Structure 1
Amino acid sequence: MRHRSLLMLTTAVTAGALTLSACGSRDDGGDKGGGDGGKKTTVVIGLSAPLTGDLSSLGQGIKNSADLAIKTANKENEVEGVQFKLQALDDAGQAGTGQQNATKLVGAKDVYGVLGPLNSHVGEAMLKTLGSANLAQLSPANTAPQLSQGPNWSKGDKKRPFDTYFRTSTTDAVQGPFAAQYVYNELKYKKAFILDDKKTYGAGLAKTFKEEFTKLGGKVVQTDSVNPEDRDFSSIATKIKNSKADFVYFGGEHPAAAPMTDQITKAGSKIPLVGGDALFSDDYIKLSNKNSEGDIATSVGAPLETLDTAKKFMKDYKAENYDDPFGPFGGYSYDGTWAIIQAVKAVVEGNDGKLPSDLKDARKKITAALQDVSFDGITGAVAFDEFGDTTNKQLSVYQVKDGKHVPVETGTFEEK
C-alpha cells in the first residue's frame, strides 16, 4: 500500500439516493395566494452563467442541471402551492455582465434566489448587489475563498462579507493544497513551474498550490503569468523547456490551458500540466490536439459515476436530451438549486403555507433558511458552515488517459 501522509482517502460511494424525475410540471396559476383554489405562487430562481463563449459548455451544464432540479420539484410538488421557474441569464464569463445580471435579478418581482455563477471573478462582481437586496446567491462552482471568508482569509482573519452568499463547491484554500500534496507525495514531483492567468480564480489557486508545495519541500523553479485571452504560448513553452521543471502548474481555465499544453509538448517538454477544476472539461482534451495525455486536474467532490446518490440524476439528465453534458459542476448545480428550493419550503411551511407577501421580507427569510438547509444530495451531504461554504470537502484527482479524464484519487485535505 502506498504511503499517504496527508491525503485522507474517503469512500466514494454513499448510501441512499434522492428520488429524481425528468418529467414536466403542473400548470402555473401565477397567484400569490399559495395553495388557495389550486393556484400556485410563482417562485423564480435566477441563474447567471457563461451560456455563450469559451466556457459555455460548463455554463450550459450548470443551467441544465438547475432546470432538472426545478422540473423535479414541480413534478413532485416539493413545495405545496409553489411553482418554480428558472430565469437563466448569460454572463459570458465577464464580471461586468454578471453585475448587470445581478441588478436585473434583484429588480425582478418573482426572483427569490440566484444560482451561479461559474467564475469566481464574476461571483465577486455580483456579491454586493445581491447582498444589499438580501437575495440569496448560491454558486456551484466558485472556489475563490475571499468570496465567503473576506480578503484577509489567508492571514487567519476570516470575515464573511455577505450572509447571502453560499456555495456547494469547496474552495481553493483546500483545492490548491490538495493538488500540491498529490503531486509531491504521490507522484514524487519536486520541481514546479507555476503559471496563472491573473484572474481571481487562477491567481488564487496558484497561490495556495505554491504555498503548500514549498511547505512540503518542493522547489518552484520559476513563476510567470499570462493573459486569459492569450493563445500563443511559444515563449512560455521555451522557458518551461529550459527550466528543467518536473511539471507545470497552471492556475487558469481550459481555453488557455489546452493550447498551452499543446505548445509545451511541441516545444519538446515531456512533462505534465497540472491544474484545477477549470481544466476538468472534455473541451480541454479536444482543444489540446491530443497533447494533453498525462495531464492532471483536480476537481471538487467525488466522481458522480461512483456515487449511488447520483445514478438517478445521471439517468434523468440523459433522458432530457440536453445538448451539453452536465460537466464537473452539474451535480453541484442540481444540489444548489435543491438547497434554494428547500429554503423556500422552510419559509412557506413556517408562514401558514405561503410566502410572505412582501418581497424583501420573503427574500430575507429565504436567505436565513438557506443557512440551516441540510439534506443528502446527489453529491453527498449538503450543508453550509458559518461562512456559507459547503461542509463537503471532498476532492478528486483526474489524469488524462487515452483521451479521457480518468479519476485516480479521491480524498479530503488535512492540514498538519
Structure 2
Amino acid sequence: MRNRSLLILTTVVTTGALTLTACGSRDDNSGDGGKDKKTTVVIGLDAPLTGSLSALGQGIKNSVELAAKNANKDNVVPGVEFKVESFDDQAVPASGQANAVKLAGMKDVLGVVGPLNSGVAQSMQGEFGRANLVQISPANTNPSLSQGDKWGSGEKKRPFKTYFRTATTDVIQGKFAAQYLYNEAKKKKVYVVDDKQTYGAGLAAIFAEEFKRLGGTVAGTDNVTVKETDFSGTADKVKASGADSVFFGGQYPEGGLLSDQVKKVGAKIPTMGGDALYDPAFIKASGQSNDGDLATSVGYPIEQLPTAKKFIDDYKAAGFKDPYAAYGGYSYDAAWAIIQAVKSVVDANDGKVPSDARAKVTEAMAKVAFEGVTGKVAFDEFGDTTNKQLTVYSVKNGEWASVKSATFED
C-alpha cells in the first residue's frame, strides 16, 4: 500500500548447549532440566500502532501475533519458539528508521514484518540490508522499494535483497484503477489529487498515465497536505474543472475529508483511490454520503477466499479488540513466510538455528512458496509477490462492497 511499510523478521541463534554467542536464546518450557529447551526466534513488527492509521496497524500486529501463536501451537519448527516484538512508527519515517536500528540490534530477531507505509519503508531498508535481516511488508506498494528509483524507465534494479512484500505494487494497482474508472465506471474526465507522500504521489502518477493512455482526460491536478483538514480550495478547483470524477493518491483521513468537501461545493462526483482509502474510517471521515466512492485494494475480499476461513475463525477466537482490517491476511502470510524460511534453515542444519541464521533466512525467503491466507505466496526476482489479484470496492449504503475482483494482466 501507500506509504506502506514493510515488516522484517530476523533471529539469529548459536548452537552451543549453554553459551549463545551469535544470537537467539534458550527457554526451558518443560522444567525437566533442559531436555526440551527451545530456541527463541523473534519476529519483529513495525506498524503505526497509534495515530490516525492505527486501525490498520493494529490489524497487522494482531495478525502477526496470531501466526506466531499458531506456529508454536502446531510445533511447525521443532525446537523453535516464535515471539513477536512490536514497534510503533506512527507512520513517520524517522520513527521507522529508529525502530529498524533497534530491531537490527536485537540478536534474536530473524525477520521483520512491516511497515505499512512505503515512505516509512524507505527509511528502514538500508538498516535491514546492512544487518542482513529479512523484511517483508504486507502493505507497501511503491515500486521503487523493490525495483529501484529508475523502474519507470525500464531500468529495474533491486536495491536490497532483504526486502520482500506480500502486497502487489502500484504499477499494478494504479493501472487497474484507471482501467476500471475509464472502461467500466465510464468516467472520462478525472481530477487527480495527491498528498505529496511516497505512496500517494506515486500511485496518482501511475493512475494518471494509464487513464490518459486509455483516452481519458486529466482535468487538473492538485496536492493536499497530510494532517490538514481544509481542502475547500482543492474542492473548488475540482468543481470548476468540470471533472466527472476525482482520483486521490493518499490515505483515508485526508481522502474522506476531500470527498466530503468536493460534494459540499456541489460537485456530486465519485472520489476514487487506492488501498489506503479502503477502510471504514474513510466513510466516517466524511459528513456527506460516500455512496459511489471507489477504492482498489490488493487481493480478493478475504471473506470470499476459501483459504482464509481458518484465519478468520482463528482471529475471531483470539478475541482481538481491533479487526484484521485491510492487511490482516497479508500480514499473517508475511509472518508465515518468515516462519517457513526459518523452518527451511533449521531443517537444513540438523534441527538447530545456525550462527549465520539471518543470512540463511534471507536466502531461504526467496524460495518460499506456500498456499496462504490470501492465496499462493511466492516472490519474484525483486522480492515482489507473484500474486497480482486486486479488487475494486464501492461505498453502498454507507459500507464498502466489492464490485469487481480480477487478476491483473497488462
TM-score normalised by the chain length of structure 2:
0.92
Matches within 5 A, 1:4-403: 30-31=25-26, 37-356=35-354, 358=355, 361-403=356-398
Retained in 2: the 8 A contact 1:178–1:412?
no
Q: Deviations over 1:156-189 (max 9, x none)?
A: 0000000000000000010000000001110111
Counterpart amino acid of 1:331? G
By how many angstroms is 1:34 displaced? 12
For residues 90 and 176 of structure 1, what CA distance do their matches in structure 2 show? 28
Shift >6 Å, 4+ stretches: 32-36
Q: How many angstroms apart in 2 are the aligned matches of 1:30 and 1:144?
A: 36
Matched, 1:406 2:391: no
**Pairwise CA distance, 1:32:** 8.1
Report the CA distance shift for 1:342/1:33 in structure 2 as closer, same or farther (over 3 A): farther
* Local SS of the residue matching 2:395: strand
Please provide the CA RMSD for this pair: 1.4
Give, in whole Å, the separation in 2 of the partners of 1:135 and 1:250: 34
- SS at the partner of 2:240? helix
SS in 2 for 1:376: strand
- Deviation per residue, 1:246-288 (Å, 9 max, x gap): 1000000001011111111111110000000000001111111
Asked if the contact 1:46/1:113 (under 8 Å) is kept, the reply is: yes
Matching residue's letter, 1:240 = V
1:30 Cα offset (Å): 4.4
Q: Alpha-carbon deviations, 1:388-413, whole Å to 9, x = none?
A: 00000000000000111100000122
Distance 2:250 2:25 in 1: 43
* Residues 361-386 of structure 1: CA deviation (Å, up to 9, x unaligned): 11000000010000000100000000
Unaligned runs of 5+ in 1: 1-28
Q: Which amino acid aligns with 2:318?
A: E
Equivalent pair of 1:261/1:291 in contact (CA under 8 Å): no
Tell me the distance in 1 between the aligned counterparts of 2:46 and 2:325: 16
Aligned residues of 2:264 and 2:288 also touching (Cα < 8 A): no
Please tell me the residue identity of whatever aligns with 1:404.
E
Between the aligned partners of 1:384 and 1:247, the Cα distance in structure 2 is 35
Cα offset for 1:122?
0.3
Deviations 1:343-376 (A, max 9, x none): 00000000010111x2xx1100000001000000
The Cα of 1:289 is off from its aligned counterpart by 2.1
Equivalent AA in structure 1 for residue 376 of structure 2? A
Greater Cα shift, 283-292 or 364-373: 283-292
Residues 28, 36 of structure 2: 8 Å contact kept = no
Cα pair distance change 1:34/1:323, threshold 3 Å: closer
Partner Cα distance (2:281, 2:316) in 1: 19
Rounded to whole Å, the distance in 2 between the matches of 1:343 and 1:241 is 52
Q: In structure 2, the residue corresponding to 1:277 is in which secondary structure? A: coil
In 1, are the aligned partners of 2:193 and 2:248 still within 8 Å (CA)? yes
Classify the secondary structure of the residue corresponding to 1:143.
Answer: coil
* Structure 1 Cα separation of the partners of residues 240 and 112 of structure 2: 47
Whichever residue aligns with residue 313 of structure 2, its letter is: K
Q: Deviation at 1:292?
A: 1.5
Greater mean alpha carbon deviation, residues 220-229 or residues 30-39: 30-39
**What is the alpha-carbon distance in structure 1 between the residues aligned to residue 316 and residue 281 of structure 2?**
19
Q: Distance in 2 between matches of 1:82 and 1:289?
A: 51
Q: C-alpha distance in 2, partners of 1:299/1:374?
A: 22
d(CA) in 1 for partners of 2:103, 2:70:
23
Aligned length, in residue pairs = 384
2:289–2:398 contact (8 Å) kept in structure 1: no
**Whole-angstrom CA distance in 2 between matches of 1:143 and 1:289:** 29
Can you list the C-alpha shifts for 1:48-92, whole angstroms capped at 9, x where unaligned? 000000000000000000011010000000000000000000000
Any conservation in 2 of the 1:93–1:122 contact (CA below 8 Å)?
A: yes
Q: Which secondary structure does the structure 2 equivalent of 1:323 belong to?
A: coil
Task: Answer whether contact 1:33 1:41 (CA < 8 A) is retained.
Answer: no
Where 1:138 maps in the other structure, the secondary structure is strand
What is the TM-score when the length of structure 1 is the normalising length? 0.91
| Equivalent-residue separation in structure 1 for 2:134 and 2:29 (angstroms) | 21
Deviation at 1:191, TM superposition (A): 0.3
Shift of 1:290: 4.3
User: What residue identity is the alignment partner of 2:375?
Assistant: G
Deviation at 1:305, TM superposition (A): 1.0
Q: How far did 1:327 drift?
A: 0.6
Q: Equivalents in 2 of 1:312, 1:265: separation in Å?
A: 41
Question: Is the contact made by 2:263 and 2:288 (CA closer than 8 Å) also made in structure 1?
Answer: no
3-state SS in 2 of match to 1:270 = coil
Instruction: After TM superposition, give the deviation of residue 291 of structure 1 in Å.
Output: 2.6
